[in-house]
Structure 1
Amino acid sequence: MKDKSLKYDYIIAGAGASGLLLAYRLSQDPFFSSKSILIVDKEKKKDNDRTWCYWESGVGPWDALLTKTWHSVYFGSATFSKTIAIAPYRYKMIRSAAFYELLWKEVDLNPQITFVAAEVEKVLEGDNQVQVMTPITTFYGAKLFTSIPNPETYKSQTKFPLIHQHFVGWFIETTSDTFDDSKATMMDFAIPQKGNTRFMYVLPLSKRKALIEYTLFSKSLLAYSDYEKAIAGYLTANNITDYTIVEKEQGNIPMTSFDFNTLNSKHILHIGTAGGWTKASTGYTFQNTVKKTKALQAFLKQDHDLRRFHKASKFRFYDLIFLDVLANHNGEGAALFSAMFKKAHIKTIFKFLDEESSYLEDLKIILSVPPKRFIQAFFKRLF
């Protein structure tokens, strides 16, 4: 511990992507050079426990960390299949170990930042400070930013649907050139849907190495063996039989339009997935975290009431309607996505999913999908 004091200006509970990136941003900004910052987590994450992918136009701030980039993406289904050039965008991939290493290197150099390896057991908020209780001691902070999830907050309510984006992935290596590493498969629905929205996600790292991921958008999870059987079956169907599994990953991302801002208070802000920073309709989190932490860095220079950080957006309503449709008609996901990718321009889709589209571009997306289910969901929410 660099600082023996138990009182801090900011406490960051959880050192995953959102907490660590927030600490990094504050450490790089001279405005916060006099602020004392505490990071509390059970350990410093250093492994490849996450694979993050995102699309971005031009050069980005994390390009030096990229594992792979693709200039084209493939979408496949029974009704529409196409390899799509995405310029000026590129689809980018980062493994978490490189990301953690860079950020910790910078954060550890800042004498104002202290890391404590401990589990957060309880949080209490007073009029002017927050108490963060751990097995070691109780820490006090003027503001708390927590990425520690509490799934019961959205599981225990019925107003907003909850869909899980759950997946298992294999990193495999083959003995001969097998993959077209010039394109990433974003969604391949050419697999049994079984009443759900199920697709394969394929990221070729080279001609002989790829991440093959079996992904579902559904209310219920599967037995682990079911994911692996689906991956093995997909590889066999594509005549890929001579391979070695070198690494595995598994995840479950909540997709919900629950209003996470209701969890925030004057001195406590929930961040990352715990704060609703995951894009509700897609499960993408990394770019949202990059944007949100940058916005939070600017906000802290102007305002001290963390309840005012969240801004209402038309996109939350769009996500809500989409998730209503997906929750009530889960087997129709392939048709919905197929219509969108077939009728809408890929740049319009990316802008819409990045929440940067105009109302005209929103309309193009809305008109690209089969209207019946969305009209039903709209009027149900309206009345």
Structure 2
Amino acid sequence: MAELPHYDLVIIGGGCAGFSLASKLSEYGEKAPKVLILEQRKNYTNDRTWCFWDIDHPAYQSLASHAWSTFEVANRERVHHFDCNQHPYLMLESQHFYEAAIKQISNHPKIQLMLGQEVLSAPINTDQGWHISTAHTVFTARQVIDTRPPKKINPQDSVLWQCFVGYEIQTQSDCFSPEKMVLMDFDHTFEHGLAFIYILPTSEKKALIEYTVFSENIIPKQQLITRLKKSITQKIDRQPYELLRVEHGTLPMGYTLTQQYKASTYLYAGLFAGAARPSSGYAFQRIQSWANKCAQSIVSEQKLYASPKEQWVQSSMDGLFLNVIKNNPTRAASLFEDLFNRCELNTVVKFMSDQATLGDYFRIIKSLPPGPFIKALPGFVIQKIFHRLGWAK
């Protein structure tokens, strides 16, 4: 019997988390382990967009295709304009990230990417290491990092879900201001959560427009598309447009179901394993931070590194904020409006970028009305106790 192909590390999933880790490992040169990335896609497309604030030299900022120094938040007839020139809002298209990652890892002799490789069943732990089976072959590895989302997602597994669909469109006449993006334009006609329009214009005639919902339930894609099309028609005054590409996603906001494997040589990573910020869904820079620390741990100690647990203050604030949105969806738009209006923008940016200090947390709390949070506090505390004890929600 032929010897099975063996690797020090198999990464299941060549998406953001998988590529980020492999890229970091490649920087260690000869010290890097022998790595195999298994990706079920046969090719990569420009299928998503990651955005983040330009604060403290974020990873991949040089690949950003556009930056905005002003943005607006709109709630009914009230439109608020903000100057974020100190920390511009950056957009990274996935095609640029994929191309950079593939180029970097392809130049490393010990790191290999295999496309069209779907892992058919749960890897098996044996005396010879992990056995990972695809339709084409079986691989063995000393360590495995699994970045795939759960096969089955239940709405009750997360406090809220961020569901979105986006159209990148090209109009015939000028409709957009490429120097200003729309962070949140709330839609009060949606009755099953907090809904808003998100507009990232890259020229006078081109923009990515997303319809986003924070909801207890997972909103079907077609329902989001119907809302998005209506919003686009209103935004561009019924002008015809060309659809260039589509984005769609469902992100966890407060997902706590993923439990790490008992074996220290198998690790879950990615969106459903602590990468997504509970209160916003932002994940890209958090993944970069994890990838850097995980690569360092693998090379120096041969140990896998899980996404760290949230700091108690940040975790508590995010959890309480999500519960307030969940229990007060009609009031949630005003809470975001208060947050941006009553708090210094630099503080909000640091909070959203995981760089807030205790003073920043205090200023965030001070900017929001206490009533909804006091009302939600008892239920939130009970929920935390139940989770700590491992009981059902």
Same-fold status (TM-score > 0.5): yes
Of the three residues 181, 200, 204, the one matched with 1:203 is 200
Match of 2:334 in 1: 335
Match of 2:367 in 1: 368
Kindly state the Cα deviation for residue 324 of structure 1 after the two structures are TM-superposed.
Answer: 2.0
Alignment of 1:142-153 (within 5 A): 142-150=142-150, 152=152
Could you say what secondary structure the match of 2:330 adopts?
helix
5+ long unaligned stretches in structure 2: 383-393
Q: Is the 8 A contact 2:124 2:132 kept in 1?
A: yes
Kindly state the Cα deviation for residue 113 of structure 1 after the two structures are TM-superposed.
Answer: 1.4
Greater CA drift, 189-198 or 69-78: 189-198
Could you say what secondary structure the match of 1:84 adopts?
strand
Greater CA drift, 6-15 or 244-253: 244-253
Q: Is the 8 A contact 1:351 1:357 kept in 2?
A: yes
Counterparts in 2 of 1:265 and 1:80: CA distance versus 1, 3 Å: farther
Q: Is the 8 A contact 1:264 1:307 kept in 2?
A: no
What TM-score comes out, normalization by structure 1 length?
0.89
Kindly state the Cα deviation for residue 318 of structure 1 after the two structures are TM-superposed.
Answer: 2.2
Of the three residues 40, 46, 56, the one matched with 1:48 is 46
Alignment length (residue pairs): 376
Q: Is the 8 A contact 1:145 1:268 kept in 2?
A: yes
Q: Is the 8 A contact 1:261 1:307 kept in 2?
A: no
| CA shift digits 1:58-86 (9 cap, x unpaired) | 75542342221111111111375311111
Greater CA drift, 307-316 or 166-175: 307-316
Match of 1:313 in 2: 311
Match of 2:67 in 1: 69
Counterparts in 2 of 1:308 and 1:37: CA distance versus 1, 3 Å: closer
Alignment of 1:1-383 (within 5 A): 6-30=5-29, 32-33=31-32, 35-43=33-41, 45-57=43-55, 60-78=58-76, 80-117=78-115, 118-121=117-120, 122-126=122-126, 129-150=129-150, 152=152, 155=154, 161-244=158-241, 245-258=243-256, 260=258, 262-263=260-261, 265-306=263-304, 310-314=308-312, 315-383=314-382
Q: Take 2:199 and 2:56, find their aligned partners in 1: how far apart are those partners? A: 23
Residue 251 of structure 1 aligns to which amino acid in structure 2? G
Kindly state the Cα deviation for residue 230 of structure 1 after the two structures are TM-superposed.
Answer: 2.4
Kindly state the Cα deviation for residue 293 of structure 1 after the two structures are TM-superposed.
Answer: 0.8
Q: Is the 8 A contact 1:72 1:182 kept in 2?
A: yes
Kindly state the Cα deviation for residue 25 of structure 1 after the two structures are TM-superposed.
Answer: 0.9
Kindly state the Cα deviation for residue 265 of structure 1 after the two structures are TM-superposed.
Answer: 4.1
Kindly state the Cα deviation for residue 88 of structure 1 after the two structures are TM-superposed.
Answer: 1.8
What value does the CA root-mean-square deviation take over the aligned residues? 2.5
| CA shift digits 1:277-304 (9 cap, x unpaired) | 0111111111111111112122224444
Could you say what secondary structure the match of 1:177 adopts?
coil
Identity of paired residues, percent? 27
Residue 181 of structure 1 aligns to which amino acid in structure 2? P
Kindly state the Cα deviation for residue 268 of structure 1 after the two structures are TM-superposed.
Answer: 1.3
Q: Take 2:99 and 2:306, find their aligned partners in 1: how far apart are those partners? A: 32
Kindly state the Cα deviation for residue 220 of structure 1 after the two structures are TM-superposed.
Answer: 2.5
Match of 2:388 in 1: none
5+ long unaligned stretches in structure 1: none
Q: Is the 8 A contact 1:58 1:88 kept in 2?
A: no
Counterparts in 2 of 1:373 and 1:291: CA distance versus 1, 3 Å: same
Kindly state the Cα deviation for residue 357 of structure 1 after the two structures are TM-superposed.
Answer: 0.9
